[in-house]
Amino acid sequence: MSDERRELLRGTLDLLVLKVVAGGAAHGYTIARRIQERSEGVLQVEEGSLYPALHRLEQRRWLEAEWGISEAGRRAKFYRLSRSGRRELAAQERGWEKMSAAIGRVLRPAEA
């Protein structure tokens, strides 16, 4: 995988994680499952990418973390969206919509 694609995917993963967590606090395993389910199996997040992303977003204070008890009765680390995280999610969503519209115009010039 080229560096350019890896950089694009990492930026996309941050957006996906922020969006999933915006729906409610969740631990890493649930976040991965939600991304997979909502993408209807198209997107499968690798754990090697997911957990560093979660810790990076926590360090940037876009996510807040807290240890609790999961639905299976196990001790787990739950992430929720912070106030600054909500602002960042909104900004990344606008950026993504602008990017996808631009790509769409390139791919389908007759419809533009």
Partner 1 sequence: MRSPADLGFWRRLGKTEAITAEVRAELEHHLARATEDLVATGLAPEVARAEARRRFGDLERIEHDCLQIQTGGLTMLHRIHAGATLLLFLSVLFLLYDGRMRAARSEALAQQFRQEAELAMHRAEEARRGRNPVESIVIRVGDRLELVDFVNPDLNVSEEVAADGKILVPDLGWFAVAGLTREEAEAALSEALGAYFVSVDVKLKVHSEESD
Binding site for partner 1 (CB under 8 A): 27-29, 32, 46-48, 51-52, 55-56, 58-59, 61, 64-67, 70, 72, 74-77
Closer to partner 1 by Cβ: residue 1 or 72 = 72
Closer to partner 1 by Cβ: residue 52 or 95 = 52
Shortest spacing between CB 19 and partner 1, in angstroms = 20
Residue 104 tokens read as 């769409």
* C-alpha 14: how far from chain center: 4
Residue 64 tokens read as 């807040």
Closer to partner 1 by Cβ: residue 64 or 93 = 64
Q: Are 54 and 36 in contact (CB under 8 A)?
A: no
The one-character DSSP state at 35 is H
* C-alpha 53: how far from chain center: 8
Closer to partner 1 by Cβ: residue 83 or 94 = 83
Shortest spacing between CB 66 and partner 1, in angstroms = 8
Shortest spacing between CB 33 and partner 1, in angstroms = 9
Distance CA 20, CA 109 (A): 32
Shortest spacing between CB 18 and partner 1, in angstroms = 16
Secondary structure element (H or E) that encloses residue 104, with its range = helix 83-107
